[in-house]
Amino acid sequence: MKGSIGFIAVGQAGGNIGSMFEKKGHSVIYFNTSQEDLKTLTGAKHTHHIKGGEGCNKDRNKAKDLIIDDFESILQQVTEKLTEEFIFVIFSSGGGTGSGSSPMLIDLLIQNTEKRVGAITIIPSEEETIRTYVNSYECFQELEAIDDLCATFVLDNNKQEDKLNINSMFVSQFSAFIGLSEHTHVRGNIDQAEIKEMLSTRGATVITKMNKPEKSADSTANLINSFKSGIFAPIESDRVVQYIGLSYSVPIEMEALCKEMGDPYDIYQGQNDTTTICILCGLSYPYTAIEKMKEKVQASQIRVVKNIEATQTARLQDDISFLPPKRTRTAPKVNPNLEDEPSSESAPDRKQINKNIFDKYKKQPK
């Protein structure tokens, strides 16, 4: 199966996870608007800097514009370097580059190639900023509207303190899942066709992997709990599930599992000497977690707007005649509009000033 799955890693988080898949022998292309982010990928074979990009500082629209301008070249890279049947696009939903460009890129790849395309994405933790939640919400709005999207794996940064742990646990679980067909067992195994069917299934997909315990008591309850404590966004309580894949090292009561997770359209089962691996496919997207982010955004909306207005409104307009004359400016101006009277018309210029400053600090010496 390994030879059937290639990856496109977009943005920083995508790159971090993609490089772990590349180390496991998969083909990976890394796209980023930031040269600096790409340089962190030591040993990467195929990197592509999106033309004109300097990083997107969490601005999804900026990322979209850049992808549109560079799409011919992106498509050429994908068709030349990824010959696999499946492509999984990896990206965080809360940043700019990966979040902004990936849903559109997935849609474009579905339209422009014969490949089956899925998504691996990440939701931000509760400690992150309002901007990340806005980005994440918009990203899921776009993802759920894509026709013919295959499986979506949604990792949750609330589940582990160290994001890099989430990355390595996911790569290990995904690899164990697609490796199931190589693991033949006299009592039955999950084959390639079944794995492909699960990877092709639209909706959220989660995996859990547990080493064979010394005692098999409570194995079903432990399996169910492992989904709850795992690295994926919480499973919806609507019991929507299309397929269950189960490779078991200890007996699992399927009836109890279905009672908790829902009744699937089909179950693929196999036996395993060392590990229990269970996959749930065709789940609802993690709408409860996504709604929670929306509520946080709405709760802080008034404060955010007030803060922005506070810095854009001139409040010090009294004439205090005893102050010394205004100093003449010697440093070069960032923008000629800097001395404009503050007014609502000048707001876009102020944005431009801020952007220039952000860019100045972002451009690290090469």
By the criterion CB under 6 A, which residues form the site for ligand GTP? 11-13, 16, 33, 37, 55-58, 92, 94-98, 122, 124, 128, 132, 155, 157, 163-164, 166-167
Q: Which is nearer to ligand GTP, 259 or 363 (CB)?
A: 363
H, E, C per residue of 282-321:
EECCCHHHHHHHHHHHHHHHHHHHHHHHHHHCCCCCCCCC
Q: Which is nearer to Mg ion, 12 or 219 (CB)?
A: 12
In the complex, least distance from residue 95 CB atom to Mg ion, rounded to whole angstroms? 6
Task: Give the tokens for residue 181.
Answer: 């067909």
Q: Which is nearer to Mg ion, 22 or 37 (CB)?
A: 37
From the list 38, 36, 34, the residue with the least C-alpha distance to 19 is: 38
* 156 near Mg ion (CB under 5 A): no
DSSP 202: -
- Please answer whether residues 202 and 151 qualify as being in contact, where contact means their C-beta atoms are separated by less than 8 angstroms: yes
Q: Give the orientation angle of helix 97-112 with respect to helix 60-81, to 10 degrees.
A: 40
Residue 280 to residue 83: CA distance in whole angstroms: 27
In the complex, least distance from residue 99 CB atom to ligand GTP, rounded to whole angstroms? 6
In the complex, least distance from residue 62 CB atom to ligand GTP, rounded to whole angstroms? 8
> What, of Mg ion, ligand GTP, none, does residue 163 touch, CB below 5 to 8 Å by kind?
ligand GTP
In the complex, least distance from residue 98 CB atom to Mg ion, rounded to whole angstroms? 7
- Please answer whether residues 274 and 249 qualify as being in contact, where contact means their C-beta atoms are separated by less than 8 angstroms: yes
* 12 near Mg ion (CB under 5 A): yes
**Residue 45, CA distances (Å) to 10, 41, 89, 97, 130 in order:** 15, 9, 17, 20, 35
Interface stretch with Mg ion, choices 7-15, 116-124, 224-232, 236-244 (CB under 5 A): 7-15
- Please answer whether residues 25 and 88 qualify as being in contact, where contact means their C-beta atoms are separated by less than 8 angstroms: no
Residue 222 to residue 252: CA distance in whole angstroms: 10
Q: Which is nearer to ligand GTP, 16 or 189 (CB)?
A: 16
Number of residues in contact with Mg ion, rule: CB under 5 A?
A: 2
Residue 86 to residue 130: CA distance in whole angstroms: 34
Interface stretch with Mg ion, choices 12-20, 110-118, 271-279, 345-353 (CB under 5 A): 12-20
In the complex, least distance from residue 133 CB atom to Mg ion, rounded to whole angstroms? 17
From the list 106, 76, 146, the residue with the least C-alpha distance to 14 is: 106
In the complex, least distance from residue 128 CB atom to ligand GTP, rounded to whole angstroms? 5
Residue 238, classified by CB atoms within 10 Å of its CB into exposed (0-12), middle (13-18) or buried (19+), is exposed
> What, of Mg ion, ligand GTP, none, does residue 166 touch, CB below 5 to 8 Å by kind?
ligand GTP
Q: Which is nearer to ligand GTP, 343 or 354 (CB)?
A: 354
Instruction: Scan residues 28-67 and list those touching Mg ion (CB under 5 A).
Output: 37
Pairing assessment for the beta strands 86-92 and 116-123 based on DSSP bridges: parallel
Residue 341, classified by CB atoms within 10 Å of its CB into exposed (0-12), middle (13-18) or buried (19+), is exposed
> What, of Mg ion, ligand GTP, none, does residue 13 touch, CB below 5 to 8 Å by kind?
ligand GTP
In the complex, least distance from residue 160 CB atom to ligand GTP, rounded to whole angstroms? 8
Q: Which residues pair with residue 210 across a beta bridge?
A: 276
Interface stretch with Mg ion, choices 6-14, 41-49, 85-93, 143-151 (CB under 5 A): 6-14
Q: Which is nearer to ligand GTP, 55 or 262 (CB)?
A: 55
In the complex, least distance from residue 231 CB atom to ligand GTP, rounded to whole angstroms? 8
> What, of Mg ion, ligand GTP, none, does residue 50 touch, CB below 5 to 8 Å by kind?
none
Binding site for Mg ion (CB under 5 A): 12, 37
